[in-house]
């Protein structure tokens, strides 16, 4: 595989960019080797700057759910670009996207658009505190909720991969009101509730995707909803990754729970920077200009991003690819397990809808501690094997693979062949 140009750019990028990247996982630190610089993408494929073609199972870490370069999305974006980039005033498309989103999430009467998942979450922290008048928040080890101070502890993928216990520059005062619980362990939440009467909210990824894909047990997630309601604690469901991924709407509906506050990002912007937080009327009444909780944004509800979000969600709804996602993920799971068995490799696969994750471990993976026990050296060999064979997956054992709706049978065959070849190399 020729990667001359990626190597040149990686070297050149070091001069004025930090580590040649604008987000750490892109540096390939956990798998070593030269990170790929991408040149273009079309439908299910992505091409690096040296012209190598890959089936894209990263999809910009989720947003590109209908594949790259959908004609209708391009048309909507082009039209908006010609009409105006940003006005600093309200536009009709914000109302339209709000309607689509609120209709898709049963517990959401109103929504506020922001520019990233991180921003949605940090606004949700403020909102939960404003609404309850309480200060503490509970998060689960291994769940990632963006890079805001209060939630940057025990935060999964990027941090797990780099083995940073939190981050430098986060004062202990910023996390002293953050309590850590264990995913799938309801007693760890009950303990906090018993010991602290100042909890505003529990934050959770309904399907964890940032320690690798980890599913909540039915009893855990339902019990969590029950005990938070009973204690007057808000349940903030972080659907930045899961929103619109496994059904049109959120994972919470599939899991049989309803959030007090839902956070969105990724898919909702169709590849442009959009985040959102929403809740029922009485909670959203707290937000400025209706209420006393301040939150603002120069580019929030950006017209081009709204156009991309609306057209992506309309197309997604029309395509309704969710059964296809399940069927294709099942095929990939079977291929992974069969290839592992053939090569005497211990493997566990977790998946939910269009999110799937092979863990190089013999054990079931139900929480962050178990995820961390995986054989990451083997993952590294497997990762490079897939790259060599034309399949682009996230460069970390702890990131989900994503499927897009335009994966063809031919793409699927290529993925399966690549899995077989890469698993041999991982032996």
The nearer residue to ligand PLP, 205 or 253, going by C-beta atoms, is 205
Which residue of the chain is nearest ligand PLP when measured via CB? 117
Distance CA 269, CA 126 (A): 23
- Active-site residue identified among 45, 266, 381, 414: 266
Binding residues among 198-237 for ligand PLP as defined by CB under 6 A:
205, 209-210
Least distance to ligand PLP, CB of residue 24, Å: 11
Whether 144 sits among the annotated catalytic residues: the reply is yes
The nearer residue to ligand PLP, 22 or 163, going by C-beta atoms, is 22
- In 49-135 the beta strands, taken as DSSP E runs, fall at 53-56, 110-114
Residues 394 and 386: beta-carbon distance below 8 Å: no
Q: Is 240 in the site for ligand PLP (CB under 6 A)?
A: yes
In this structure, the dihedral spanned by the alpha carbons of residues 110, 87, 267 and 408, taken in order and rounded to 10 degrees, is 140
Whether 238 sits among the annotated catalytic residues: the reply is yes
Whether 7 sits among the annotated catalytic residues: the reply is no
Q: Is 241 in the site for ligand PLP (CB under 6 A)?
A: yes
Least distance to ligand PLP, CB of residue 151, Å: 9
- Active-site residue identified among 54, 134, 139, 238: 238
Binding residues among 257-316 for ligand PLP as defined by CB under 6 A:
265, 275
Residues 115 and 258: beta-carbon distance below 8 Å: no
Cβ within 8 Å of residue 391, ≥6 positions away: 54, 55, 57, 414, 415, 418, 419, 422
Q: Is 116 in the site for ligand PLP (CB under 6 A)?
A: yes
- The helices-and-strands tally (H runs, E runs) of the chain is 15, 14
Distances (CA, A) of 153 to 39, 143, 224, 259, 266: 34, 9, 21, 22, 22
333: enclosing H helix or E strand: helix 322-342
325: enclosing H helix or E strand: helix 322-342
- Active-site residue identified among 10, 54, 61, 144: 144
Stretch that binds ligand PLP, among 101-109, 112-120, 314-322, 384-392 (CB under 6 A): 112-120
Site string for ligand PLP, 124-163 (x = CB under 6 A): --------------------xxx-----------------
204: enclosing H helix or E strand: strand 199-204
Residues in the site for ligand PLP, rule: CB under 6 A?
116-118, 121, 144-146, 205, 209-210, 238, 240-241, 265, 275
Which residues are the active-site residues?
Answer: 144, 238, 266
């Amino acid at each position: 595989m020729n990667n001359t140009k990626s190597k040149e750019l990686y070297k050149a990028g070091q001069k004025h960019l930090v580590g040649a990247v604008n987000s750490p996982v892109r540096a390939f630190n956990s798998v070593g080797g030269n990170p790929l610089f991408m040149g273009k993408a079309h439908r299910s494929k992505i091409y690096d700057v040296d012209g190598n073609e890959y089936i894209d199972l990263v999809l910009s870490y989720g947003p590109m759910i209908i594949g790259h370069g959908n004609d209708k999305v391009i048309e909507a974006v082009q039209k908006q670009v010609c009409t105006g980039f940003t006005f600093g005033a309200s536009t009709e498309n914000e109302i339209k996207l709000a309607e689509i989103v609120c209709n898709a999430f049963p517990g959401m009467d109103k929504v506020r658009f922001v520019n990233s998942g991180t921003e949605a979450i940090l606004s949700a922290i403020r909102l939960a505190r404003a609404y309850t008048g309480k200060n503490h928040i509970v998060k689960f080890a291994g769940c990632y909720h963006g890079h805001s101070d209060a939630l940057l502890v025990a935060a999964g993928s990027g941090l797990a991969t780099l083995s940073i216990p939190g981050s430098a520059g986060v004062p202990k005062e910023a996390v002293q009101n953050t309590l850590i619980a264990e995913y799938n362990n309801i007693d760890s939440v009950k303990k906090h509730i018993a010991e602290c009467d100042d909890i505003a909210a529990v934050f959770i990824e309904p399907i964890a995707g940032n320690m690798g894909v980890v599913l909540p047990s039915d009893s855990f997630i339902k019990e969590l909803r029950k005990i938070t309601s009973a204690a007057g604690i808000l349940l903030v469901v972080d659907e930045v990754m899961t929103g619109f991924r496994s059904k049109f709407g959120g994972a919470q509906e599939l899991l049989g729970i309803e959030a007090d506050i839902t956070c969105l990002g990724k898919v909702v912007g169709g590849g442009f920077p959009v985040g959102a937080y929403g809740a029922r009327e009485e909670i959203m009444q707290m937000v400025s200009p209706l209420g006393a909780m301040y939150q603002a944004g120069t580019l929030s509800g950006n017209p081009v991003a709204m156009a991309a979000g609306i057209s992506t969600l309309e197309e997604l709804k029309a395509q309704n690819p969710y059964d296809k996602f399940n069927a294709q993920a099942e095929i990939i799971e079977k291929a992974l397990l069969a290839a592992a068995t053939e090569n005497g490799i211990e493997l566990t696969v977790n998946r939910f809808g269009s999110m799937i994750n092979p863990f190089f471990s013999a054990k079931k993976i139900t929480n962050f501690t178990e995820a961390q026990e995986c054989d990451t050296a083997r993952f590294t060999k497997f990762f490079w094997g897939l790259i060599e064979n034309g399949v682009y997956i996230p460069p970390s054992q702890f990131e989900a693979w994503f499927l897009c709706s335009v994966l063809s049978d031919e793409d699927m065959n290529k993925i399966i062949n690549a899995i077989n070849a890469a698993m041999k190399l991982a032996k």
